[in-house]
Amino acid sequence: MAEQVVIIGSGPAGWSAAIYAARAELKPLVFEGAITEENRLAGTLPLGQLALTTEVENYAGFPAGDLKGFLESAIDPERFQYMFVHEGKHAVTGPELMELMRQQAVNFGTRIVTDDIVGVELQQRPFRLRLLGGETIETHALILATGARANYLGLPSEETYKNRGVSACAVCDGALPRFRNKPLIVVGGGDSAVEEATYLTKYASKVHLIHRRDKLRASKIMQERATNDPKIQIEWNHTLEEVLGNDKEGVTGVRLRSTVEDATRELPASGVFLAIGHTPNTAFLKGQIALTEKGYIQWSQPFRTTTSVEGVFAAGDAADDHYRQAITSAGTGCMAALDAERWLAAQGIH
Ligand code: NAP
């Protein structure tokens, strides 16, 4: 028998959609993603981008405080292995927040499958979804909440030093002790790169912004911010050729390559932050639903989570390359569940 609603994705959008759908008695089934080496390397393991961050200080409702007792009472002890729990007073961490949302969805009857959906057939009804192992399931309504992942350059040295100085999120990791009062590298020339560089000046002795051209892509105001900040030095016309480091210290520097002459040079640094854009996790949807040029799912109406296929709704970063916040994703997840519920009711399915 077909499911009433399937939710693909396990970030704030997926869990918020599940909480609302479960409370509406839609018995949602969530595909939270598979635990595979491929997903680990791509940054698409269950619980999404927040599972890769440390403290989340801007999610409303979670001021810094001692969450230990609450976490122990709210969450199954078996799930503690997935959480990054600090002792003492702190803001909620990304993994803690995701475990709390996951548990809240479970509490209302959400069923969870730890697997990927790798293909969809949206031209038929009910919709058919294909799992990693080849099995298929059917659903009347579908909520897509597969999120996005930060782009990396694909250098082997970048991979070697991930979590030991290489990051794609200054706001998540910038305050770590290893980055304090040390030179840091940001790669990219867009708004994110400038935003990350500016943010890192709080901690770094100097921030080198590495850009492959001689003009920033960032908006004018952000360009001015970068050029006027005495702590930011823009290294024009350079790409990152290699992250340098060792087992003991992690990242110790970078080697840059000029894009205008045949030359390389090295800079000392204790951290490298990639800000070269994000890729939505929507490859499995190609040809089935309208995507934007950059591959984001297209919402078909303003302030609705409807898509080009009736009965398919999109939430979170998979459809949003503008706000990209945990709280906005959670908001659109809630909207998608409400939209799905109304649509199912109108079809006489619910
Ligand atoms: P983006 O605008 O696409 O910029 C990506 C930057 O990375 C570009 O400068 C690009 O260089 C560079 N880049 C891409 N691939 C690279 C590679 N392989 N090697 C070296 N450099 C590479 O992405 P974004 O900065 O993440 O911004 C995404 C969207 O969010 C934008 O619409 C932006 O305005 C918005 N945003 C807004 C704010 C804000 O308003 N505060 C903050 C963050 C993001 P080229 O320039 O040479 O292509």
Query: 169 catalytic, yes or no?
Result: yes
CA distance to 97, 209, 307, per residue, from 130 (Å): 29, 43, 20
Q: What is the 297 CA–ligand 1 centroid distance (Å)?
A: 19
* Helix H or strand E encompassing 141: strand 136-144
189 CA: nearest ligand 1 atom: 9
Tokens of 24: 């509406």
Q: How high is the pLDDT of residue 93?
A: 87
Mean pLDDT of the chain: 94
Could you state, in order of their start, the residue ranges of all structural domains in the chain? 3-150+278-346, 156-274
Which of these is catalytic: 173, 317, 320, 339? 173
Q: Where are the alpha helices (DSSP H) in the chain?
A: 12-23, 37-42, 68-74, 94-107, 156-160, 170-173, 191-200, 220-228, 326-346
Q: Which of 31, 55, 61 is nearest to 44 (CA)?
A: 31
Point out which residues pair with 285 in neighbouring strands.
Answer: none
Quick: pLDDT tens for 96-133: 999 999 999 999 999 999 999 999 999 999 999 999 99
Mean pLDDT, residues 260-268 taken together: 98
Burial (Cβ within 10 Å: 0-12, 13-18, ≥19) of residue 40: exposed
Q: Is residue 86 predicted with pLDDT exceeding 90?
A: no
pLDDT at 126: 98
**Which CATH fold would you assign to the domain 156-274?**
FAD/NAD(P)-binding domain (3.50.50)
Q: 223 with 229: CB under 8 angstroms?
A: no
Q: Is 172 a catalytic residue?
A: yes
User: What own/partner pairs with CB < 8 Å and gap ≥ 24 does 188-191 have?
Assistant: 188/274, 188/275, 188/276, 188/277, 189/213, 189/215, 189/216, 189/217, 189/218, 190/216, 190/217, 190/218, 190/275, 190/276, 190/277, 191/217, 191/218, 191/219, 191/222
Nearest to 118 by CA among 279, 308, 310, 288: 288
342 vs 88: which has the higher pLDDT: 342
CATH of domain 3-150+278-346: 3.50.50.60
Q: Buried b / exposed e across 254-269, counting CB within 10 Å, b at 16+?
A: bebbbeeeeeeeebeb
pLDDT confidence tier of residue 41, bands split at 50, 70 and 90: confident
- Give the residue-averaged pLDDT of 67-96: 86
CA–centroid distance, 187 to ligand 1, in Å, is 10
203-246 confidence digits (pLDDT tens) = 999 999 999 999 999 999 999 999 999 999 999 999 999 999 99
Whole-structure pTM over 0.85, yes or no? no
Catalytic residue among 115, 116, 169, 247: 169
CA of 191 to the centre of ligand 1 (A): 6
Per-residue pLDDT tens digits for 5-20? 999 999 999 999 999 9
The pLDDT value given to residue 38: 86
